[in-house]
Structure 1
Amino acid sequence: MMIISSMMFFSGLFIYSFKRKHLLLMLLSLEFIVVSLYLNIMMFLSNGNFEFFFSMIFLTFSVCEGALGLSMLVSMIRSCGNDYILTFSSLW
């Protein structure tokens, strides 16, 4: 199971690094990385018979990260008309 979660994490990093032109694809790959990290945390906590409170904190922060990313995507599409990173200029 550890090999599968490691492969998930590195495939998410691979997608993130090669699809850096579109903000939506970057956000989807970041969410995939978060899911793989959550799987790693749950496996670590269940193997050591620890409490699962840290996993709830991790989920809270990942939901906040997802909401912030979606708000950035919506504002970028409203202002620029697309989600290409290269056409976005913060110097207006």
Structure 2
Amino acid sequence: MMTLCIMMMFFLGNMIFVSKHKHLLIVLLSLEFIVLSIYLMMMIYFLMMNYNMYMLMVFLVFSVCEGALGLSILVSMIRTYGNDYFQSYNLLW
């Protein structure tokens, strides 16, 4: 039952990420939701197989770096363009 809930979290996060949204913040939150579901799935798998939890710490470090990078891009976009709308600027320039 728990695995089904985590799989639904993963697919819901992917559906939000793939759908077209106006704001970058929603896309970043969906990415963090996907990372959280992958973390929970890895934790359940490692607990069932009696593996060491060291890889979960490495995964958390990379996910925090990904979140910090996304927030820094968001802040630089807001400072440059004044908002986080995708339609307000051209990415080809």
TM exceeds 0.5?
yes
State the partner residue of 2:79: 78
State the partner residue of 1:59: 60
Gaps of 5+ in 1: none
Q: Percent identity?
A: 54
Q: In structure 2, what is the Cα distance between the partners aligned to 1:79 and 1:13?
A: 28
Deviation at 1:54, TM superposition (A): 0.5
1:88 aligns with 2:89: yes
1:3-27 Cα distance to aligned partner (Å, 9 max, x none): 0000000000111122432100000
Task: List structure 1 segments (4+ residues) > 4 angstroms apart after TM superposition.
Answer: none
Letter in 2 for 1:9: F
Gaps of 5+ in 2: none
Q: RMSD between aligned alpha carbons?
A: 1.1
Q: How many residues align?
A: 91
8 Å Cα contact 1:19/1:25 also seen in 2: no
Using the size of structure 2 for normalisation, the TM-score is 0.92
Letter in 2 for 1:81: G
8 Å Cα contact 1:5/1:36 also seen in 2: yes
State the partner residue of 2:37: 36
State the partner residue of 1:48: 49
